[in-house]
Amino acid sequence: MIGPGDEVLVTEMEHHANLVPWQELCLKTGATLRWIPLTDDGRLDLAGIDDLITAHTRVVSLVHQSNILGTINPVAEIGRRAREVGALVVVDACQSIPHLPLNVRDLEADLVMWSGHKMLGPTGVGCLWGRPEVLDAMPPFLTGGSMIDTVRMEGSTYAPAPQKFEAGVPMAAQAVGLAAAVDYLLAIGMDAVAEHEHVLTAAVLDGLLSVPGVRIIGPDTTIDRGSAVSFVVDGVHPHDVGQILDSLGIAVRVGHHCAWPVCRRYEVPATTRATFYLYNGLDDVEALIDGIHEVKRFWEVA
């Protein structure tokens, strides 16, 4: 149980889905939420980690690869430090498992979760991996059919994990779709996927750095970073950047990307984000850079 005097540690780059639930937990239990701050170049500032992970820390929950900055965080290093104080370690791997060759056991985590739609699968489905002893100790968050062991009028007992977390009619179509996506990725090989993305990421970073007035929000090298690349164009709102690129047939995401604290940290209202995957090529990188030049011409900015 978590209560007053306990602490939950996250990072300043979390997706809202790994921030807001912890805010609510702390609000309801009286625990304190703390976070690892960001450096100017989009990485975690670990200089004060020993002051953040203490005997009061009950949970450390952090993103493996940022969906807005592209940063790949040293989750295993942080996880080992958290284990020293007995904290539960939770890793958001939504942006890393679809893009990197990973073994979840190497992340030094107790729980790892990821979504289906970021790995070529359908929406509305995802995965949770957990250490058996952690899953066994967790109570079900939904109750109903399919997750029970025995039911009597006086009370019920529950099936073991994972069944006890899967009440009701299962999402058969989504599960089959996700399995097909996994088979497809494994047939290609995650090493090949990662290498392909590395080439594209290097090209797009070089391209963006060559355009005057464009600022990358996040690491500007391929060291410990993935293929989600956010940027701003001086003098043009990101929504306007996205509209021009859309008219050219270039699909990007604009907004705060469910990571509003990141935008506040770098004092931008939003960013434009281009994310490259196995279906992209260097021609897409070239089209993006050409499109940004067109954005600048259209809005008459230097």
Q: Which two tokens stand for residue 28?
A: 């309801």
Q: Are residues 122 and 262 in the same domain?
A: no
Q: Are residues 244 and 280 in the same domain?
A: yes
- pLDDT tens column, 1-34: 899 999 999 999 999 999 999 999 999 999 999 9
User: Does residue 111 fall inside a structural domain?
Assistant: yes
Q: Give counts: helices (H), strands (E), the chain.
A: 9, 12
- pLDDT tens column, 201-219: 999 999 999 999 999 999 9
Alpha helices in the chain (DSSP H): 20-29, 49-52, 75-84, 132-137, 172-188, 190-209, 238-247, 260-265, 282-299
Domain holding 111: CATH number? 3.40.640.10
- pLDDT tens column, 128-141: 999 999 999 999 99
Active site residues: 258
The pTM (predicted TM-score) of the whole model is: 0.96
- pLDDT tens column, 149-192: 999 999 999 999 999 999 999 999 999 999 999 999 999 999 99
Q: Are residues 90 and 173 in the same domain?
A: yes
Q: Provide the domain count of the chain.
A: 2
User: Does residue 143 fall inside a structural domain?
Assistant: yes
* pLDDT for residue 253 is more than 90: yes
* pLDDT for residue 124 is more than 90: yes
pLDDT at 171: 92
CA distances 71 to 31, 119, 150, 157, 198, Å, are 28, 18, 46, 43, 13
User: Does residue 92 fall inside a structural domain?
Assistant: yes
pLDDT at 29: 98
User: Does residue 267 fall inside a structural domain?
Assistant: yes
User: Does residue 293 fall inside a structural domain?
Assistant: yes
Q: For residue 126, with 0-12 CB atoms within 10 Å meaning exposed, 13-18 middle and 19 or more buried, which class applies?
A: middle
Domain that holds residue 128: 7-148+157-186
Q: Are residues 177 and 244 in the same domain?
A: no
- pLDDT tens column, 32-73: 999 999 999 999 999 999 999 999 999 999 999 999 999 999
pLDDT at 302: 79
User: Does residue 116 fall inside a structural domain?
Assistant: yes
In sequence order, what are the beta bridge partners of 63? 92
Q: Are residues 110 and 198 in the same domain?
A: no
Q: How far apart are CA 18 and CA 10, in angstroms?
A: 8
pLDDT at 17: 98
User: Does residue 2 fall inside a structural domain?
Assistant: no
Domain holding 202: CATH number? 3.90.1150.10
The conformation of residue 86, written as its DSSP 8-state character, comes to T
pLDDT at 1: 84
Q: Are residues 163 and 239 in the same domain?
A: no
CA distances 107 to 42, 158, 182, 244, Å, are 21, 29, 20, 40
What is the mean pLDDT of the segment spanning 242-248?
98
